[in-house]
Chains A and B, each alone.
Chain A
Amino acid sequence: MSNETNKQVQQAAQEPLLEVKDLSVQFTTDKGHPITAVSDSSFTVYPGQWVAIVGESGSGKSTSAMAVLGLLPGTGKVVGGSIKLHGEELVGKSSKDYEKIRGVQMGLVPQDPMSNLNPVWRIGTQVKEALKANNMDVSREKRSSLSKALSDAEVKLKTRDDELFIGSQERPELLAAAKAALQKAGVASVDEKMATFEETWVTGSQTRWLVAQDLIKAGVPDDDAWAVAKAHVTGSNMDDRIAGLLAEAGLPDAATRARQYPHEFSGGMRQRALIAIGLASRPDLLIADEPTSALDVTVQKKILDHLHTLTDSLGTAVLFITHDLGLAAERAQHLVVMYQGRVVESGPSLEVLQHPQHPYTKRLVNAAPSLASQRIISAKERGVDAESLMEHHTKGEETLEHSEHIITVDHLTKEFKLPRKREMFKAVDDVSFSVKRGTTLAIVGESGSGKSTVANMVLHLLDPTSGKVTFEGRDISTFKSKDLLAFRRRVQPVFQNPYGSLDPMYSIYRSIEEPLRIHGIGDRKSRVKRVRELLDMVELPESVMGRYPNELSGGQRQRIAIARAMALNPDVIIADEAVSALDVLVQDEVLRLLNDLQAESGLSYLFITHDLAVVRQIADEVVVMQHGRLVEHATTDEVFDHPKRQYTKDLLDAIPGGKLQLGLDS
């Protein structure tokens, strides 16, 4: 870097881009009572820096971010403190003034890709809105001076025209001219270089000076390179620019994709479109509010990697909101931990992770599944010393070897008929495994891998196309009325969504008591007693009996769902993403509970999840599924330590923070 740009970078680095000081945000309830969501919180973002705000839901992290954007929902109001962007106070700005700041200076990548795109407008149109709202010049790049300095100091920009984009009409001519120039200069391996150009010279995204630079690097003399670039890079139109933005965000075949509607996109693709929208007007600050929490781990990694490279090359600072400490530590240089509306800790990522000061941060570090590397030890064994811990391990292996198979899945296949397609869709393709009594088997895979379909077939809720499921040696498809009822009693499900799996009109007591009543177990009095026992088992107070699901938190509801599953003393619990919707700390509690229950009553678990980090904590054996097929099947340790298949390795790599080293003080 030249001295001049160096100075520029340093100067910019000294002045914070975003400075939030003693921010307080209040909401008003229907009855007019104020509720404080954020109080006295301060954090700072420097240009080009990634800062992560970590905390559980309700900790005020999203509210803080929305306060910065001036987009607080409902009755939300900033009641104190200051928010400064580029040294300019944002608190108290009129909504008209805020409109001018949003988009150009601050962009947003929201949380849920499913609900954040308007279903009735084409993707391209929604990108176009972002460009039009800020009067962006679509024919040329608008990079901040810092990004210019960061991107490459070797190239001196001569005029503004050097930032013109490649247009789709001129692109074929440009490629032809480039080829001619390469041949004229007598460069070796022309085809190879042309292939790289084909790939990197994206319409509406690559600029004149970058093209010239590429040619010079490839060996074309300076003057020739600039001549080619000047002749054939003359700016893009709106459609080119939209395609360019989408391509930058990692969307393949962007020009075609831009004409599609959101429902024709997968979650990952939608999130890429939202990234393109957030960065469309080249903001200095991008607020990424849990941008990938709704996505599969592998997709999550790809998208965050991409976002990282993109924001780095543009010099965009990112305020990254997440509940995942591992993810935050991996991505951001600076961590801000929020708890109950307050910033409890902030500092450089590794510092916070390795020497957490606040008790909450300590708990968070301990509980983060992505950082844990051990199977949870049951409560009984937690009490005793390290020696018996070793014993647990060996005992565990023994149980695995010797115990009988309680559920066996044999060459299971399930086909579905797709509308408008002649061939059948194989959701599950020849899958075999067995669950041993008293152990946990986890099925891992991305969404669409067929893992839930397997669960539904094991539960006898779905009939397999071929193959069979045996329970204690008997084919479950032969079960008729009485046997089926008995089977239902002994194999219980716990589903993903604790909000949807409890009837909102049933009191907690009635929800837990229902299976007992259906199976005609005990009289009224003994059932009340049993419900009390069950609540005690899941560590909930008796007082929740008379309450309704909407009065409980997500974690509490999932405990109720577990209590209900446990009501009939089942032998097997099939947990379909049972902890995926929960916060880390709650997730940790539920996992520990499940583990303790297993140790006490010898339960077997079939655990379906997309989260390998959770698997490590709970499972003895792992089955990895992809596209309906079984990819790998081994003990948990083996899978984690010596994964055999590339897909499993990818999944393991995708665990956020998996490679971070922890040195806990506590």
Chain B
Amino acid sequence: MGKYLLRRILQMIPVVIGTTLLIYALVFALPGDPVAAMFGDKPVNAAVAAQIRSEYNLDKPFIIQYLIFLKNALTLDFGNTFAGQPVIAVIGRAFPVTIKLAIMAFVFEAVFGVVFGIISGLKKGKWYDSVILIVSLLLISVPTFVTGFVLQYFLGVKWGLLPVTAGSNPGFIDLLMPASVLGSVSMAYIIRLTRTEVSSNISEDYVRTARAKGMSNKSVTLRHVLRNSMIPVVTYLGADIGALMGGAMITERIFNINGIGNTLYQGIIRGEGTLVVSIVTILVLVFVVCNLVVDMFYAVLDPRIRYV
């Protein structure tokens, strides 16, 4: 197990290098001169521009710029934004908000996804199974921003039940609507996954054997149907944490939340390579670590899986 863990951690190095290099190259390839963008409509003094370029290493070849970034990133020094703030401070402000949002979305999708999935799977063919199926299909097929705007209009504007936007320092109530929008698609997938798993597990031979032991319907369902059905669901949920952080970009835009997604968006608009790459690096790390944790968890859930 320890050996496996070490190997997996070592494997993270090429993944992180590869993704950051790719993102760096993409930002580098963006059209437009970031220095010119900083000055807006004002004319650019050549000497000042050259100084800014050398300060941000923009005059060096692409690969050197990347290596400098990488070297600094190892000491958690991501440089400064064009506005002069340290990147790490910007991220430090935005990250807690996104984490709060992601956790709420995660709880939302896990609880409702699993509960509705189980109801649907156990009572296949009943009317509420059909309703759950149709709603989940709707959530999957409609893009998040549409769901977001629709909820915003009805819950926020028309009925005034929840705040329309989240504001600068959002609390639980402010994030309720954004979190459910963010979690809605994954919830729909979890409903369907749980439903499929439950309804296929229910006809497994070992479930029949358990009934033949004289076990009550309740304990058979709990110990043999649900316990086994949760294996792929938990795996999906784990991998989804990373996706929620990334997916927050659209939701944060709609509800005007100052989280990581919104910051990332601003960075792309302004062509701030360092900011964009720094955020993406952190997202990649979150993703990779989540995956590792999921794989470890998988071995706990399913005794057939042992890592060597």
8 Å CB interface, B185-241 against A:
203-206, 208-217, 219, 223-224, 227-228, 231
B-chain residues with CB within 8 Å of residue A107 when the two chains form the complex: 212
Say which residue of B209, B215, B224 sits within 8 Å of A274 (CB atoms).
B209
| Closest A residue to B201 using CB positions | A118
Q: Is A280's CB within 8 Å of the partner chain B?
A: yes
Q: Report yes or no: A99 in contact with B302, Cβ–Cβ below 8 A.
A: no
Q: Report yes or no: A115 in contact with B205, Cβ–Cβ below 8 A.
A: yes
B-chain residues with CB within 8 Å of residue A133 when the two chains form the complex: 213-216, 219
Q: Report yes or no: A281 in contact with B214, Cβ–Cβ below 8 A.
A: yes
Q: Report yes or no: A117 in contact with B206, Cβ–Cβ below 8 A.
A: yes
Q: Report yes or no: B211 in contact with A102, Cβ–Cβ below 8 A.
A: yes
Q: Report yes or no: A110 in contact with B205, Cβ–Cβ below 8 A.
A: yes
Q: Report yes or no: B304 in contact with A263, Cβ–Cβ below 8 A.
A: yes
A-chain residues with CB within 8 Å of residue B217 when the two chains form the complex: 95, 99
CA of A107 to CA of B208 in the docked complex: distance in angstroms? 12
Q: How large is the interface on B (under 10, 10 to 19, 20 to 34, 35 or more residues)?
A: 20 to 34
Q: Is A73's CB within 8 Å of the partner chain B?
A: yes
Q: Report yes or no: A120 in contact with B205, Cβ–Cβ below 8 A.
A: no
A-chain residues with CB within 8 Å of residue B213 when the two chains form the complex: 102-103, 129-130, 133-134, 277, 280-281
Q: Report yes or no: A129 in contact with B211, Cβ–Cβ below 8 A.
A: no
- Given A119-B302, A261-B304, decide whether A99 and B215 contact each other with a Cβ distance below 8 A: yes
CA of A655 to CA of B80 in the docked complex: distance in angstroms? 82
Contact with B along A99-119 (1 / 0, CB 8 A): 111111011101010011111
Minimum CB–CB distance from A31 to chain B (whole Å) comes to 14
Q: Report yes or no: B216 in contact with A99, Cβ–Cβ below 8 A.
A: yes
Q: Is A420's CB within 8 Å of the partner chain B?
A: yes
Q: Report yes or no: B206 in contact with A71, Cβ–Cβ below 8 A.
A: no
| Closest B residue to A74 using CB positions | B203
Q: Is A520's CB within 8 Å of the partner chain B?
A: no
Q: Report yes or no: A118 in contact with B228, Cβ–Cβ below 8 A.
A: yes
Q: Is A416's CB within 8 Å of the partner chain B?
A: no
Q: Is A479's CB within 8 Å of the partner chain B?
A: no
Q: Is A419's CB within 8 Å of the partner chain B?
A: yes
- Given A73-B203, A261-B303, A274-B209, decide whether A120 and B231 contact each other with a Cβ distance below 8 A: yes
Q: Is A442's CB within 8 Å of the partner chain B?
A: no
Say which residue of B209, B214, B223, B301 sits within 8 Å of A117 (CB atoms).
B209
CA of A420 to CA of B228 in the docked complex: distance in angstroms? 29
CA of A259 to CA of B211 in the docked complex: distance in angstroms? 22
B-chain residues with CB within 8 Å of residue A74 when the two chains form the complex: 203
Say which residue of B209, B214, B223, B228 sits within 8 Å of A116 (CB atoms).
B209
Minimum CB–CB distance from A90 to chain B (whole Å) comes to 14
8 Å CB interface, A153-176 against B:
none
CA of A95 to CA of B217 in the docked complex: distance in angstroms? 9
B-chain residues with CB within 8 Å of residue A281 when the two chains form the complex: 213-214
| Closest B residue to A119 using CB positions | B304
Q: Is B308's CB within 8 Å of the partner chain A?
A: yes
A-chain residues with CB within 8 Å of residue B301 when the two chains form the complex: 120
Q: Is A23's CB within 8 Å of the partner chain B?
A: no
Contact with B along A252-294 (1 / 0, CB 8 A): 0000000001010000000000100110110000000000000
Minimum CB–CB distance from A271 to chain B (whole Å) comes to 12
Q: Is A69's CB within 8 Å of the partner chain B?
A: yes
- Given A110-B208, A115-B206, A116-B209, decide whether A130 and B214 contact each other with a Cβ distance below 8 A: yes
Q: Is A121's CB within 8 Å of the partner chain B?
A: yes
Q: Report yes or no: B212 in contact with A69, Cβ–Cβ below 8 A.
A: yes
A-chain residues with CB within 8 Å of residue B303 when the two chains form the complex: 119-120, 122, 261, 263
CA of A581 to CA of B304 in the docked complex: distance in angstroms? 27
CA of A118 to CA of B217 in the docked complex: distance in angstroms? 16
Minimum CB–CB distance from A74 to chain B (whole Å) comes to 8
Contact with B along A376-419 (1 / 0, CB 8 A): 00000000000000000000000000000000000000000001
8 Å CB interface, A53-88 against B:
69, 71, 73-74
Say which residue of B205, B223, B308 sits within 8 Å of A121 (CB atoms).
B223
Say which residue of B209, B216, B308 sits within 8 Å of A108 (CB atoms).
B209
CA of A495 to CA of B308 in the docked complex: distance in angstroms? 33
A-chain residues with CB within 8 Å of residue B224 when the two chains form the complex: 118
B-chain residues with CB within 8 Å of residue A118 when the two chains form the complex: 204, 206, 210, 223-224, 227-228
8 Å CB interface, B280-305 against A:
301-304
CA of A420 to CA of B214 in the docked complex: distance in angstroms? 41
Minimum CB–CB distance from A28 to chain B (whole Å) comes to 13
B-chain residues with CB within 8 Å of residue A280 when the two chains form the complex: 213
Minimum CB–CB distance from A396 to chain B (whole Å) comes to 45
Q: Report yes or no: A103 in contact with B209, Cβ–Cβ below 8 A.
A: no
B-chain residues with CB within 8 Å of residue A274 when the two chains form the complex: 209
A-chain residues with CB within 8 Å of residue B228 when the two chains form the complex: 118-120
CA of A129 to CA of B208 in the docked complex: distance in angstroms? 13
Minimum CB–CB distance from A172 to chain B (whole Å) comes to 32
| Closest A residue to B211 using CB positions | A71
Q: Report yes or no: B205 in contact with A112, Cβ–Cβ below 8 A.
A: yes
CA of A134 to CA of B211 in the docked complex: distance in angstroms? 12
CA of A470 to CA of B52 in the docked complex: distance in angstroms? 78
Q: Report yes or no: A116 in contact with B302, Cβ–Cβ below 8 A.
A: no
Minimum CB–CB distance from A263 to chain B (whole Å) comes to 5
B-chain residues with CB within 8 Å of residue A112 when the two chains form the complex: 205
B-chain residues with CB within 8 Å of residue A110 when the two chains form the complex: 205, 208-209, 212
- Given A119-B304, A120-B231, A263-B303, decide whether A277 and B214 contact each other with a Cβ distance below 8 A: no
Q: Report yes or no: B216 in contact with A115, Cβ–Cβ below 8 A.
A: no
A-chain residues with CB within 8 Å of residue B203 when the two chains form the complex: 73-74
B-chain residues with CB within 8 Å of residue A119 when the two chains form the complex: 228, 302-304
B-chain residues with CB within 8 Å of residue A103 when the two chains form the complex: 212-215
Since A102-B212, A133-B219 are in contact, a sample of 11 more A-B pairs with Cβ atoms closer than 8 Å, ordered by chain A residue number, is A73-B203, A99-B211, A103-B214, A110-B208, A118-B206, A118-B227, A122-B303, A130-B214, A261-B303, A263-B303, A263-B304
What are 22 A-B contacts defined by CB distance under 8 Å?
Answer: A71-B211, A71-B212, A99-B214, A103-B214, A103-B215, A116-B205, A116-B209, A118-B210, A120-B227, A120-B228, A121-B227, A129-B213, A129-B223, A133-B215, A133-B216, A134-B213, A261-B304, A263-B303, A263-B304, A278-B212, A281-B213, A281-B214
Q: Which residues of B contact A (CB under 8 A)?
A: 203-206, 208-217, 219, 223-224, 227-228, 231, 301-304, 308
Please list the 5 inter-chain residue pairs (A to B) with the smallest Cβ-Cβ separation, ordered nearest first: A103-B214, A108-B212, A130-B213, A115-B205, A133-B215
